[in-house]
Homo-oligomer: A and B are copies of this chain.
């Protein structure tokens, strides 16, 4: 089903436009790579100036090539690309790789050229990788369509890890670092500007590739959310972890956000929510990317988070525990049976605990072996971590014996072993790596990778993650593009089944007393306009207003609002006074590129300064919504703390689920609900429900929404 890219990654024939013997040219470099690495398919150099290149006959033009090639490599300058893509399409080629820079990454003219390139290719059914990329490598078949010098200085080492990257440079300098760790690769592919084929299509294909066990990705953005979810579904179905390094964690410069939800659900938080829901493992730097992928590729899954730690430095034992506990792993007390087995290999005065401090016991191989065996067979331990501070060894046996002993670990158990090795020579580390023992030279890196291994193990067991796709259409009901006031928004929410506090909007203060009387005193009176977004900032709120005061209060608020907002669309919202309760923020935001999200957070004053929010791709079920609430820092307040009754979490969860179904909805006219927040949603004790008190929303015409709501 996802073999669409077969002819790209394992082409039977490759044409190289701009062929050359000059290796200072990309075309020369590509042909050299194809030759030197022993590509066994048919190669067609194309260049009217040569008769043959690198031992292959050279053709004056693509039309002269004896077959429609699976793949055309286009190492030509940006200005020649459009023409060459057209020729490749016309000739019936299935894929082209465009290397040149100077397209969408340099501005509007480049973006137009890129769109033109894509249209020309699409007209002929040609799929394009790039532009602004470095191509790909199929390691097991030694097909090198990447021009980077990294693959000259370093050998091609086949293995189980694939790397799909939006940056070509990232592959180039990462590869030698990966080799240092003893890693091997199935494929690397750089997708550049992604005019057509993107990184997620490649990942979907890699998920089905039998030689790939783990997929690494470097991302700068997700251009097609549907392809993201397809890739996630494919990797999950195949049981292959996807480890992602996403650049752009921090927003530089302020994002002008008109709603709480828009501001709180910042760009990186949206990516984070997507990755979390998708079971994607997110890392923060290249070292973490490589060491994590390398560990996951061993396909050895811990059944729990409990570490058994064996060290020859008590201090390092404490540091390992610090790191493990801080990252949510466990270092359990050992049972008496395990302790007794350990004690047989330790000095009499040693306190036997977890971490196990071996003191000088590593000096005898039978003691090291005995200690490891005891931990390996301990039912209270899911993963064994061995720290060897080499300077402390003074072994009575050659180190090769220790290497062999550790190398045989996997013969006896599926339980993972991680070795942290410091202060020794790199030869021992390399020897362990050759035996496929996971060995780290930094304990923090080891624990990080282990945390990801455990998360991946849990993720493999989880049910499917993808939210339903299209949010669907709602009835138009006179909606127009723009922001809506509290009264309009609350009324719309009530129509969609969200409980809101009773209220009446009046256009003039003179109507306020009657409206208030119909609700019963005291009432709340607020300015109602789509243009004043933070009413309390301008004194536009009056609470507990009595019958005596309502006329005056209404006049005052109205006058004040007219001063601030001008004449347009100013009214008053008169509401029944809601009883106090726990205040939450609930909102949705529809990102034009990443899709809809739903957000819950501490409400009222606390929303902004606490930054206590949980974001999920929408829609969510009530059960998922309840799980979101449990992740709030303020959840104890909802759950009932210090004599306060538990709040009606079920009612809130239902509101969140309902609201999440509305996120991203469009009207028949094409307006899209891009932002909505309820703040506060007041929550009452269990069984007594919740009420929306204030809210606003924004509907956007499709073009205006194209760059997201935030």
Interface residues of A (CB under 8 A from B): 101-102, 106-107, 110, 148-150, 153, 165-167, 169-170, 172-177, 218, 220, 245, 247-250, 252, 284-287, 312-316, 318-319, 321-323, 325-326, 331, 349, 351, 359, 389-394, 422-424, 441-444, 534, 536-537, 539, 541, 605-606, 608-611, 633-637, 641-644
11 A-B pairs whose Cβ atoms sit less than 8 Å apart in the complex: A107-B351, A167-B313, A176-B391, A248-B322, A249-B326, A250-B326, A284-B444, A286-B443, A539-B643, A606-B634, A610-B610
Alpha-carbon distance between A441 and B536 when the two chains are bound, in angstroms: 51
* A322: chain B residues within 8 A (beta carbon): 247-250, 284
Contact A633-B605, Cβ < 8 Å, known A106-B349, A252-B321, A539-B643: no
Q: Is A173 in contact with B605, judged by CB distance below 8 angstroms? A: no
Q: In the complex the two chains form, what is the Cα distance from A61 to B111 in whole Å?
A: 88
Question: Is the beta-carbon distance between A392 and B442 smaller than 8 angstroms?
Answer: no
| A177: chain B residues within 8 A (beta carbon) | 422-423, 441
- Chain B residues with CB under 8 Å of A424's CB are 173, 176
Q: A153-B391, A252-B331, A287-B444 are in contact. Are A313 and B609 (CB under 8 A)?
A: no
A167 partner residues in chain B, CB cutoff 8 A: 313-315
Given contacts A169-B312, A177-B423, 13 further A-B contacts (CB under 8 A): A149-B391, A166-B315, A167-B315, A172-B389, A173-B390, A173-B424, A175-B391, A177-B441, A247-B322, A248-B322, A541-B643, A605-B637, A608-B641
Contact present for A537 and B391 (CB under 8 Å): no
User: A252-B321, A443-B285 known; A173 and B422 CB under 8 Å?
Assistant: yes
A422 touches B318 (CB 8 A): no
The listed residue (B319, B541, B637) touching A247 by CB distance below 8 A is B319
Q: In the docked arrangement, what's the CA distance between A609 and B610, Å?
A: 12
Q: Are A351 and B106 closer than 8 Å at their CB atoms?
A: yes
Chain B contacts for A102, CB-based, 8 A: 349
Q: How far is the CB of A486 from chain B (nearest CB, A)?
A: 16
> Taking A166-B315, A422-B174, A609-B641 as contacts, is the C-beta distance between A287 and B391 under 8 angstroms?
no
* Copies of this chain, count: 2
Q: In the docked arrangement, what's the CA distance between A107 and B175, Å?
A: 51
A422: which B residues are within 8 A, CB to CB?
173-174, 176-177, 286
Q: How far is the CA of A667 from the CA of B314 in the complex (A)?
A: 40
A394 — which chain B residues lie within 8 A by C-beta?
149
Contact pick for A170, options B175, B250, B316, CB 8 Å: B316
Smallest CB separation, A355 vs chain B (Å): 11
- The complex places the Cα of A609 from the Cα of B316 at a distance, in Å, of 31
The answer to whether A537 touches B642 (Cβ under 8 A) is: yes
Are A318 and B248 touching (Cβ within 8 A)?
yes
Tell me whether A642 and B536 are in contact in the complex, defined as CB-CB below 8 angstroms, given that A218-B315, A315-B218, A637-B605 are known contacts: yes
When C-beta atoms are compared, the residue in chain B nearest to A288 turns out to be B444
Contact A150 B319 (CB under 8 A): no
**Would A642 and B605 count as touching, CB distance under 8 A?**
yes
A23 smallest CB distance to B (angstroms): 10
Q: Write the nearest CB–CB distance from A149 to chain B, whole angstroms.
A: 6
Smallest beta-carbon distance A553→chain B, Å: 16
> When A and B form their complex, which 5 residue pairs have the shortest distance between CB atoms, in order from nearest?
A173-B423, A173-B389, A150-B391, A172-B391, A167-B315
Residues of B within 8 A of A176 (CB): 390-391, 422-424
B residues in contact with A641, CB < 8 Å: 605, 608-609
Q: How many angstroms between the C-alpha atoms of A516 and B634 in the bound complex?
A: 36
Is the pair B391, A286 in contact by a Cβ cutoff of 8 Å?
Answer: no
Question: How far, in Å, is A579 (CB) from chain B's closest CB?
Answer: 16
Indicate if the CB atoms of B172 and A442 lie closer than 8 Å: no
| Docked-complex contact B313 and A392, CB < 8 angstroms | no
CB distance from A624 to the nearest CB of B (A): 22
Q: Are A285 and B442 in contact, with the CB atoms below 8 A? A: yes
Please report the C-alpha to C-alpha distance between residue A635 and residue B149 in the assembled complex, in whole angstroms.
54
CA distance A441 to B314 in the complex (A): 28
Which B-chain residue is minimally distant from A219 (CB atoms)? Answer: B315
CB nearest neighbor in B for A315: B167
With beta carbons under 8 angstroms apart, the residue of B250, B326, B609 that contacts A636 is B609
Q: Is A318 a contact partner of B609 (Cβ separation < 8 A)?
A: no
Within the complex, the shortest CB–CB distance from A7 to chain B, in Å, comes to 28
Name the residue on B nearest A148 (C-beta): B391
Q: Choose among A107, A170, A635 the residue with the greatest number of B CB atoms under 10 Å from its CB.
A: A170
Q: Which of B174, B331, B611, B634 contacts A423 (CB 8 A)?
A: B174
What is the bound-complex CA distance between A537 and B642, given in angstroms?
5
Measured between beta carbons, the chain B residues less than 8 angstroms from A314 are: 167, 169
C-alpha gap A498/B580 in the complex (Å): 32
Give Cα distance in the complex from A608 to B642, angstroms.
10
Name the B residues within 8 Å of A148 (CB-CB): 391-392
Q: CA of A106 to CA of B350 in the docked complex: distance in angstroms?
A: 7
